[in-house]
Amino acid sequence: MNRLPFFYGWIMLPVVMVLLVCTSPGQTFGVAIFIPYIKDSLALTSGQLSGAYMAGTLFASLPLIWVGILMDRYGSRRVLFVVVILFGLTCISMNFVANLTSLFFVFFFLRLLGQGSLSMLARNALAMWFDRRLGFASGLSNIGMSLAVGAVPALGIALINSYGWRSAYAILGIGLCVVILPLLIFVFKDSPDQVGENIDGKTEGIDKENIVKETDSLSMSEVLRTKSFWIINACIASWSMSGTATQFHIVDIFSGRGLGEIDVALMFSVFALVSAIGRIAGGILSDLLPQYVMVVLAMVLQGIGLSMLNLVVPSWLPFVFGVTSGLGSSLALAVSETVWVRYYGRKHLGKVRGTTYAIGVAASGIGPFFMGVGFDMMNSFTQVIWGCAIVSIILAVFGLFATPPRR
């Protein structure tokens, strides 16, 4: 019998939402607003700055597998304490960045701790509480991230204007520690059994097709031998690479279509609104549809969204791209939240997800670089965007074969 008159997972849900929002200083949309100030302050070229960001991101992807292993061994809560404190200190260390080398190390830790570790640990924590309604719960938790895309840049700009870019980053770091650490001390629980509950708060009425019992969990070596693992990771890498690349270069892409910064802001507003709705809808669909169908739908929408950058008349582009990319990213995020635990179980979830996060983070570092190189070679983003769209559709076909592994 439960010790509480309600399911504690619904308490964990807003905690995870807060954790995800607090990853913002390590996400591309959070870093991007500081880029012009860093560039001017350190007298760097665009190539030097983007190169440091790419290198920091690529190297940050490597330790994520070990973060996942630590989570499997010690639980999310203990690892989160270390990650949050180090993340806050990294933000504060922006005050001491003096050259390209020190900037690389700060980028490395921002991406490792913010985009990678904190995000991964938060999402893994939610998967320990929900099964039948994991997609729905994940969709709700991701609403905060959708809102953060619009709110955090505005907050960052306000802090920069008031205190300067270095102090602004430090304030964000101190703020995330002040918010998260009390939650970890007083509210956060690693699993339902710590409060005398079961997953989903009950044992009856569980969807056996979705749930993988602890005894049925695959080992990491078994996971690596399944075709679905590699197909889905290829799709996630494509989504991460294309999404980050277009986000990083969106001002120049829109400029090439005769649009300005106001149009970019409008697109992000549409994207944030559609994502907030789409992430709930995507979460519900991931509870109802087979996971491989979700993979296919996500990649098709990504291909359509990228194509719209080249096809739609400029006046409609902020709306059409905001809607299609918002829906595509929502479905991709939804399936990445649910597929690993439903295909491979919870016993080695940290290690499995650490591997997938390493691939996704590395792809996010490569994407902006190669899109920039493509533009330099062809003096246009058009061909690069078409290439990304075609790859998305090809991967959608492969997604049809990303079926659950046999046991």
What whole-number distance in Å separates Cα of residue 138 and Cα of residue 128?
12
How far is it between the farthest Cα atoms of the chain?
66
- Range from 140-144, 164-168, 353-357 carrying the lowest mean pLDDT: 140-144
pLDDT at 215 over 60: no
CB atoms within 10 A of CB 76: 28
Q: Which candidate, 131, 120, 112, places its Cα nearest to that of 72? A: 120
Give the mean pLDDT of 260-280.
85
Confirm whether pTM is higher than 0.75. yes
| Cβ atoms of residues 54 and 248 within 8 Å | no
Dig out the tokens for 160 from the structure. 């920069």
Q: What is the pLDDT of residue 375?
A: 83
pLDDT band (50, 70, 90) for residue 210 = very low
pLDDT at 216 over 80: no
Q: What is the pLDDT of residue 180?
A: 98
Residue-wise pLDDT for 302-351, tens only, equals: 999 999 999 999 999 999 999 999 899 889 988 888 999 999 998 889 99
Q: What is the pLDDT of residue 245?
A: 86
| Cβ atoms of residues 54 and 103 within 8 Å | no
pLDDT at 211 over 60: no
pLDDT band (50, 70, 90) for residue 356 = very high
What whole-number distance in Å separates Cα of residue 245 and Cα of residue 388?
10
pLDDT at 9 over 90: yes
Q: What is the pLDDT of residue 289?
A: 92
Residue-wise pLDDT for 152-174, tens only, equals: 888 988 899 999 999 999 999 99
pLDDT at 193 over 60: yes
Q: Report all structural domains of the chain as residue ranges with CATH numbers, in order of start.
A: 9-190+211-399 (1.20.1250.20)
| Cβ atoms of residues 396 and 222 within 8 Å | no
- The interaxial angle of helices 261-288 and 317-344, nearest 10 deg, is 30
Q: What is the pLDDT of residue 209?
A: 44
Percent of the chain beyond pLDDT 70?
A: 95
Give the mean pLDDT of 98-102.
96
